[in-house]
Amino acid sequence: MDTTTLTIRHARPEEYEALGALTAQAYLDNGFLVLGAEDPYLAVLRDVPARAAAAEVLVAATADGTILGGVTYVPSGGPMADIARESEAEIRMLAVSPRARGRGVGETLVRECVRRAEEAGRTALVLSTQTSMHAAHRLYERLGFVRTPERDWRPIPAVPLLAYALAL
């Protein structure tokens, strides 16, 4: 896949349902939900309207409008920020369609978040990731993110999250 033909833009309201389904399915397919299809976090992953009201929901779309992935970019605090400190931006819920994985879609989305954070004068871009998200860890580290174990946390006891930061 030629990622230069991708457009990274804000998700449109008519795309929210499809993006929510794509995000939820990515987490389910990869076993990232403790309770599988019964996990209450599925509702959060599907609720793109709530994310879009509190942050920037970005999509990677092809020329024909097919959504291949999405990410929630939190430019500065608010209800979508989990670990961002003052002057930092945060990435949440990065997901890529199974047919587009390994083709640079996730990297393109993360690079756009980096660009936005730099343009906004943020001091760092931070994120949390599950211990089992090895492909994501490799992506983040390749892009210069470093582990910040002092920020690791658990939203629930069964889900330890690793923190990463990219100094800007």
Q: How far is CA 131 from CA 7, 149, 164, in A?
A: 30, 12, 12
pLDDT given for residue 95 in this prediction: 96
pLDDT given for residue 138 in this prediction: 96
pLDDT given for residue 109 in this prediction: 98
Residue 168 CB partners (closer than 8 Å, separation 6+) = 114, 117, 118, 122, 123, 124, 125
Neighbours of 150 (CB within 10 A): 6
pLDDT digits (tens), the chain, 168 positions = 556 689 999 999 999 999 999 999 999 998 898 888 998 999 999 999 999 999 999 999 999 999 999 999 999 989 999 999 999 999 999 999 999 988 999 999 999 999 999 999 999 999 999 999 999 999 999 999 999 999 999 998 989 999 999 999
* Structural Rg of the chain based on CA atoms: 15
Q: How far is CA 48 from CA 40, 60, 89, 148, in A?
A: 15, 15, 19, 28
pLDDT given for residue 3 in this prediction: 60
pLDDT given for residue 36 in this prediction: 85
